[in-house]
Structure 1
Amino acid sequence: MERREFIKGTGSALGLAGLMASGVGSAESVPNASLSYQYQLNYAPHLGMFKHLAGDDPIDQLNFMADMGFKAFEDNEMKSRSLDLQKKMAETLRMREMTMGVFVCHKIHWHKPSLSSGDADYREAFLSEVRESVEVAKRLNARWMTVVPGHVDLRQDMGYQTANVIEALNYASDILEPHDMTMVLEPLNFRNHPGLFLTKIAQAYQICKAVDSPSCKILFDVYHQQIQEGNIIPNIDRAWDEIAYFQIGDNPGRNEPTSGEINYLNIFKHIHQKGFKGILGMEHGNAGEGSEGELAVIKAYQESDRF
């Protein structure tokens, strides 16, 4: 069943607040609710975020996101999905006028040196995966793909490791530039991902400046950077010309805005005032469970977008 049919209708008097108070328990509980909202920024949910309200089918979930007013979508696992599903999702995104956000373009080695090591065989395997990702991106009309350089190499000075990463990303940029595609480098925090090479925005900024390509930019994940270094808005300003993508998650908990300590209302307002037209990926869990938790996510984004 098309989930958008649940949301269409005559505009029930039961709005979002009323639905939350009523304790909805399934997608069928939301047939005529007028929940859609016109967001000022391009927030991108992921599969599973609204599975109780939309059902398990990925296409139904995409339609539900569109019905809720979301204009973008991201999927870290897109590359591993079947060709048939990729094509169906691409067609749905096209029909619903949604923009595809990031997917992870290569296998990330969490616990051993990778691009930082300078190993030629690993670098070539990485570049082969970038080439494969170009075809996935074409299929989804996607422009961005996530890159995580991997673990730090304790046997090498940080300067040599940085040079190794820059060299690999130069080769990758040569692959992506003809297709107008961009890899976005994601610094990750020490608590969730100890021992990684790339952890701070200034470090990513240095690397992007050295690569000097429109195909190598920064993914600014606010959750990771709140833990790693804080200073969110000043770092956004300082690295602005190299930031191509944002991801969202509150701290503690890595759930929706308003569930933790981060003032997302101010951050979103600042990003909007700077004229950002890209995507802000909703890479987080839901603080609450079931349908009520999913409705709380929608409510949190509506509240955080009112500036």
Structure 2
Amino acid sequence: MKKLVTGFKILAVLSVFAFHSCSDESDELSRQETVQTKITTADLKKETTPISQAVPGVVQTQLDESQKSLEKYLKNDLQITGINVIGKISTEKGIELSKNLITDKDQFIASGNVTESSSVKVGRIGDLYTGDDLILAQNGLKEMAMEEIKNGTNVMEVIWTSKTGKFTTLCFYNDSGIVWDNVLGGLVIMDTRGAIEDSASGQAAARVASKWYKQWWTANWLWGSKRGEMGYQITVYYTGSTVSNTDVNDWAYISLGKAKSETKITKRTGAYGQCQYALGLCTPTGSLSFNSSKFSISFSGLGSNIVNNGVKSLYP
């Protein structure tokens, strides 16, 4: 009987050993499969047709002007050092691969306002974003890609040098210009002070019965052209020193990003007119939300953004 028990013990040990061996082998196969299915630019290239290594003139100008902006604001911290044209996307699979590649955690991305170098962040998506922020960023990029990257869109690699070393990004473009690049599209040029204009600056007649005040903020692409704007304008109508009515309007828009604007009149008549405003712009990797009880817009996630909440009073 003792020998029989010992035999069972040996059989049990062998069974456990065999189970772990199979499990280890299965894990190894799974790891190998993951490595084998890792999407690369080589896979994307198979879904493209060859095109010239010379990019359209407008695209080259955008790259050159972007480099000038980087040199002006970030010095040698981030530079474009070259490009490598991959081809023209020619299949639906190519579109899907493009979407997956630009949202991959190992791909590089940038965010921030280059006029404020301390706000600029450059790194792998998986390093800069975690948890809900990562999901928000990837979803934002996917939504943008679904709308902007189509059959016939050209794609190239942009080669970068940063403080931490060299890396590449995928840049999508067509004959009219750059469509998207995780760094070129993630960075913006913004004057956080905004611009101001009022009726007294050029319309003397407006002082007779009305007066207005306008304030706005502009976001530009890295190459300098306008990307978006947000602002408000308050107008008071008056007789003598008494305001009889107050109007306000607002606006916010941005190319390849998110925008919100809200305003309301808080004092319509009397000695002055007053409005409250809530304005926001951000790139695709972030999100804007409006709190009606606090009458304010807030930004969440990570990405280039500008938000302004405030009150403006205007006297006759």
User: What TM bracket, shorter-length normalisation?
Assistant: under 0.3
- The two structures have a TM-score, normalised by structure 2, of 0.24
Greater fraction of residues in strand: 2
Highest CA radius of gyration, 1 or 2?
Answer: 2
Greater fraction of residues in helix: 1
Q: Which has the higher contact order (CA 8 A, sep 6+)?
A: 1
- The two structures have a TM-score, normalised by structure 1, of 0.24
